[in-house]
Amino acid sequence: MEFLTMFWDYRSYFMTGLQYTLLLAAIGVLCGFILGLLVALLRMSKWAGVRFIGHAWVEFLRGTPMLVQLFIIHYGLATFGINFSPIQSGAITLSINSSAYLAEIFRAGIQGVDRGQGEAARSLGLTRGMSMRFIIIPQAIKSVLPAIGNEFITIIKESSIVSFIGVTELMFQSGSVVGITYNGMTPYLIVAVMYFILTFTFSRILGVFERRLKASDYR
């Protein structure tokens, strides 16, 4: 079968691309998670100026294409002497773009926690920061875990855009195989199947994790 034969013959290309895709997705979600949580807290600040910064961050990143953001970071900043390698530019773009969506997810989760819990924590002597850190945020993250998992799946797929600046992830490597074999169909079908396996596997793992969390709630 041509599909399997091509995958095996060019497995080094596809596996290298897979490694970079997973690396970029992991960095994008991890950094986006941290940055998104900070932006969510900015958006809920009691100071209007701070809220505006968080709001502007979310609206700008959600309102512009990720490819444009990638080109600004990789090519635009270079005009000011700020140079990043392709892998650095890709990781930064995925991280900040993911942070905008995760910020809204976190904000919804935090606002969904019963206000009475924060009031009870403060009545016990905890400061607002302590109650947010130890009581509110852990519950919020647990409640929005499915949405966080969906964002990770989205980042896995959207990491393909970094091929435009030469990062050797799956799409870039499939293009290389197309150039070698002059076959414009099979390499892309292989990559499509690899993306599907990645996202499907992660979805199943996330589902198992969610069920275990729900089971712990009933104990």
Tokens of 109: 């989760």
Q: What is the pLDDT of residue 104?
A: 93
How far is CA 172 from each of CA 2, 93, 113, 139, rounded to the nearest angstrom?
A: 21, 17, 43, 40
d(CA 170, CA 177): 11
How far is CA 210 from each of CA 70, 141, 202, 215, 217, rounded to the nearest angstrom?
A: 33, 12, 12, 9, 11
The pTM of this model reads 0.88
> What is the DSSP secondary structure assignment for residue 167, as one 8-state letter?
-
Type of residue at 197: I
Total tally of structural domains belonging to the chain: 1
Contact (CB, 8 A) for 156 and 21 = yes
> What is the DSSP secondary structure assignment for residue 125, as one 8-state letter?
T
Q: What is the pLDDT of residue 144?
A: 86
Q: What is the pLDDT of residue 219?
A: 56
Count Cβ atoms within 10 A of the Cβ of residue 181 and give its class: 0-12 exposed, 13-18 middle, 19 or more buried.
Answer: middle
Q: What is the pLDDT of residue 73?
A: 96
Domain extent for 79: 2-217
CATH code of the domain covering residue 210? 1.10.3720.10
Tens-of-pLDDT digits for all 219 residues of the chain?
788 899 999 999 999 999 999 999 889 989 999 999 999 999 988 899 999 999 999 999 999 999 999 999 999 999 999 999 999 999 999 999 999 999 999 998 888 888 777 777 777 777 777 888 888 888 888 888 888 888 888 898 888 999 989 888 899 999 999 999 999 899 999 999 999 999 999 888 888 877 776 666 555
Q: What is the pLDDT of residue 94?
A: 95
Q: What is the pLDDT of residue 218?
A: 55
How far is CA 90 from each of CA 16, 69, 79, 185, 209, rounded to the nearest angstrom?
A: 16, 10, 18, 26, 29
Q: What is the pLDDT of residue 216?
A: 60
Q: What is the pLDDT of residue 111?
A: 87
